[in-house]
């Protein structure tokens, strides 16, 4: 690479985004001087520069294979004539994020976006996996013009405990519920703890990480086949190598913006992703994340359209928590492409994917791959679904004027139409201190209500919507109750659980008006959630609460201030309001 005038040269590679010293030639001179300290030659630096995000962290076992993934991606980049440059970003693990991983998702999105923008990369390989990481990376991708390609870390393998196949974290909850109900003792729960996560990788049920990986592939942002291959398998590293190679091709396009996220993530691509969300019985969290990604692109996601979509798309995938298998079985049954094969009548097949082929072409290609013979045990044929309609339903009513969501494919059918007395917990602290008390006035047919666990109230909308069954009821054999909140729920959880009630209680949504003993009616077939209290009385109770800001205790400085003063509600994705463009693009989300 010469030191010629960078202003006269196409702005690629090392010439991109020169640090501003007021003299571009000096900026390039200085940049080269420093990077040569790492031993790079001019010919290495003349190649297309491919950024690779390093989200490895000792606190993130879901990303335990990232070093090997990076090596594989680098190999692919080098094979194709590019120069790989690895850079770190925030890494978020669900169990190592206080107060909750969602609180940090937007920070990771900002970090990733600005590092892509700041550094001279021609294309970027995004390696993510644990729940919030790929959403954060795609939010970043939606805000930059550089082509990016995602490669998930992939799911863990399973093992067994006394012949019972276990997986994180649906079975974490199942065994914890047994422990709370005194069905198993401390020795046994400790033994189970050793077995739940037997390899690196993401949770191996159809939790949030697997859901996001499937939706990302369906939306065209990762190569075909990348969603389901287990984290420790050789094939995953080969896919990382292919991803690196493809990144170089993207970087060398005459106009790389033709494969930017803006070009791939069209309204039709989002429809394909939400169609998959329904068909896999996927995580409710994905609704928020993909809404946030779309919002950054100026695409408004209409929750009622998502609900209508679900009325036509059956659940085809027999995976926990809606079914009974694990991601390794989905992989053996053909992975996402086999699901898409069954879903073809519901998909926009001409959507462009990051590979350069359309989604339809990718499905055809996978079908012709003889090594992916279908067993049809885990991925049902469309005529024999495991649930006749999509996995999620959107509810509205005087308790959730802007919507709420329930994963009815993982709920107790008898509770989907239910009227019960509210047992209210006003905060996470209140829940923790009273749920197991012997004197708690609660019966199996009651409805548990959690307030102030939403985006601003908690803050960070923790996965607290899976309220535990009160111990005395659990010990009496109660397995499920109707539970409502403005919180989220882990994609690995199950039960008759209404989530994301919007507006949240901390914003003086009607959820804040619910009191002990009020009657609530849930009617999922009618898509309604109703507080059976006179409207004037609800208004009066909300007026008595006063201004929300006074109750939130927002600090004067720091990230928490930024978060609580700018985070949006669940129906627009819980992004920072200043990241969502004012102008919106609208397009039909339903293929009529």
| 97 is a site residue for ligand FES (CB under 6 A) | no
- Interaction between residue 352 and ligand FES (CB under 6 A): no
CB of 136 to ligand FES, least distance (A): 13
Q: How far is the CB of 202 from ligand FES (least distance, A)?
A: 4
Q: What's the min distance (Å) between Cβ of 129 and ligand FES?
A: 6
Q: Judging by DSSP bridges, how do beta strands 400-406 and 393-397 pair with one another?
A: antiparallel
Candidates 57, 158, 202, 275: give the one binding ligand FES (CB under 6 A). Answer: 202
Nearer to ligand FES (CB atom), residue 69 or residue 209: 209
> Which span (66-74, 159-167, 202-210, 326-334) binds ligand FES, by CB under 6 A?
202-210
510's CB contacts (< 8 A; 6+ apart) are 398, 399, 400, 401, 531, 538, 542
Residue from 78, 110, 126, 130 binding ligand FES (CB under 6 A): 130
Read off the tokens for 50. Answer: 């491919």
Q: Which of 425, 395, 359 is nearest to 287 (CA)?
A: 395
The first and second tokens of residue 67, run together, are 């070093």
Q: Pick between residue 84 and residue 323 the one whose CB is nearest to ligand FES.
A: 323
For ligand FES, how many residues bind (rule: CB under 6 A)? 9
Nearer to ligand FES, 68 or 262 (CB): 68
- For ligand FES, the closer of residues 62 and 317 by Cβ is 62
Q: Alpha-carbon distance 162 to 191, whole Å?
A: 10
Task: Report the nearest approach of ligand FES to the CB of residue 387 (Å).
Answer: 23
Scan for tokens 């300290």, then name that residue: 37
The smaller minimum CB distance to ligand FES, of residues 97 and 513, is found at: 97
Of 6 and 135, nearer to ligand FES (C-beta) is 135
Q: Can you count the helices (H) and strands (E) in the chain? A: 21, 14
- Supply φ then ψ for residue 393, to 5 degrees: -130, 145
Query: Quick check: helix, strand or coil at residue 404?
Result: strand
Q: Is residue 171 near ligand FES by the rule CB under 6 A?
A: no
Question: Should residue 207 be labelled a site residue for ligand FES when binding is judged by CB under 6 A?
Answer: yes
Measured distance CA(195)–CA(178) in Å, rounded: 16
Torsion of CA 43, 45, 47, 52, to 10 degrees: 140
| Residue 62 makes contact with ligand FES by CB under 6 A | yes
Query: Which alpha helices (DSSP H) does 80-168 contain, by range?
Result: 101-118, 133-142
Residue number, 167 or 256, with CB nearest to ligand FES: 167
151 binds ligand FES (CB under 6 A): no
Q: How far is the CB of 96 from ligand FES (least distance, A)?
A: 9
Residues 6+ apart with CB under 8 A from 290: 135, 215, 219, 270, 273, 274, 277, 301
- According to DSSP, the residues that pair with 145 across neighbouring strands are none
Our CB check for ligand FES shows the closer of 207 and 281 to be 207
Q: Which of 94, 249, 486, 575 binds ligand FES (CB under 6 A)?
A: 94
Decide: 284 and 314 in contact? Cβ < 8 Å. Answer: no
Helix, strand or coil, per DSSP, at residue 23: coil
Q: Which stretch, 203-211, 426-434, 468-476, 579-587, contacts ligand FES (CB under 6 A)? A: 203-211
Token reading at 581: 């463009």
Question: Judged by CB under 6 A, does residue 131 bind ligand FES?
Answer: yes
Contacting positions for ligand FES (CB under 6 A): 62, 93-94, 130-131, 202-203, 207, 209
């Amino acid at each position: 690479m010469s030191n010629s005038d960078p202003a006269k040269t196409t702005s690629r590679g090392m010439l991109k985004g020169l640090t501003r010293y007021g003299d571009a030639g000096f900026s390039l001179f200085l940049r080269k001087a420093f990077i040569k300290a790492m031993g790079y030659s001019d010919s290495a630096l003349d190649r297309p520069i491919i950024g690779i995000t390093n989200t490895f962290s000792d606190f993130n076992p879901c990303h335990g294979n990232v070093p090997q993934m990076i090596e594989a991606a680098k190999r692919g980049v080098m094979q194709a004539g590019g120069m790989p440059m690895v850079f770190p970003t925030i890494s978020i693990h669900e169990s190592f994020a206080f107060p909750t991983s969602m609180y940090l998702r937007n920070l990771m999105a900002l970090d990733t976006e600005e590092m892509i923008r700041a550094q001279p990369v021609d294309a970027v390989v995004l390696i993510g996996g644990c729940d919030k990481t790929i959403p954060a990376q795609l939010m970043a991708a939606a805000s930059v013009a550089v082509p990016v390609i995602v490669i998930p870390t992939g799911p863990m393998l399973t093992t067994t405990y006394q012949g019972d196949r276990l997986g994180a974290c649906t079975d974490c909850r199942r065994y914890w519920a047994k422990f709370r109900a005194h069905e198993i003792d401390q020795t046994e729960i400790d033994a189970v703890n050793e077995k739940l996560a037997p390899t690196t990788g993401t949770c191996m049920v159809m939790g949030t990480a697997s859901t996001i990986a499937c939706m990302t592939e369906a939306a065209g942002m990762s190569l075909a086949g990348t969603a389901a291959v287990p984290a420790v398998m050789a094939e995953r590293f080969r896919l990382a190598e292919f991803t690196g190679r493809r990144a170089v091709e993207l970087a060398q396009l005459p106009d790389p913006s033709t494969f930017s996220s803006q070009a791939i993530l069209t309204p039709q691509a989002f429809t394909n992703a939400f169609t998959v969300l329904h068909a896999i019985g996927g995580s409710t969290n994905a609704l928020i994340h993909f809404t946030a990604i779309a919002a950054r692109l100026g695409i408004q996601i209409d929750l009622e359209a998502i609900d209508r979509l679900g009325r036509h798309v059956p659940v085809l995938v027999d995976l926990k928590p809606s079914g009974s298998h694990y991601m390794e079985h989905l992989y053996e049954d053909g992975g996402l492409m086999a699901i898409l094969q069954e879903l073809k009548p519901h998909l926009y097949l001409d959507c462009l994917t990051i590979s350069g082929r359309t989604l339809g072409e990718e499905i055809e290609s996978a079908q012709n791959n003889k090594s992916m013979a279908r067993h049809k045990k885990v991925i049902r044929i469309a005529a024999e679904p495991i649930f006749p309609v999509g996995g999620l339903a959107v509810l509205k009513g005087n308790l959730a004027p802007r919507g709420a969501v329930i994963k009815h494919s993982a709920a107790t059918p008898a509770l989907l139409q239910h009227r019960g007395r509210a047992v209210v917990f006003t905060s996470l602290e209140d829940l923790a201190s009273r749920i197991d008390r012997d004197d708690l006035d609660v019966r199996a047919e009651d409805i548990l209500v959690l307030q102030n666990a939403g985006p601003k109230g908690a803050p960070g909308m923790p996965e607290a919507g899976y309220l535990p069954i009160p111990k005395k009821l659990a010990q009496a054999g109660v397995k499920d109750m109707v539970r409502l909140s403005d919180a989220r729920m882990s994609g690995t959880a199950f039960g008759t659980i209404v989530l994301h009630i919007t507006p949240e209680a901390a914003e003086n949504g009607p959820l804040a008006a619910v009191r002990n003993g009020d009657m609530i009616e849930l009617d999922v077939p009618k898509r309604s959630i109703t507080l059976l209290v006179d409207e004037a009385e609800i208004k009066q109770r909300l007026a008595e609460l006063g201004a929300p800001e006074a109750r939130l205790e927002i600090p004067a400085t720091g990230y928490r201030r930024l978060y609580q003063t700018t985070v949006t509600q669940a129906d627009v994705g819980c992004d920072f309001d200043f990241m969502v463009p004012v102008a919106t693009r609208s397009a039909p989300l339903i293929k009529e």
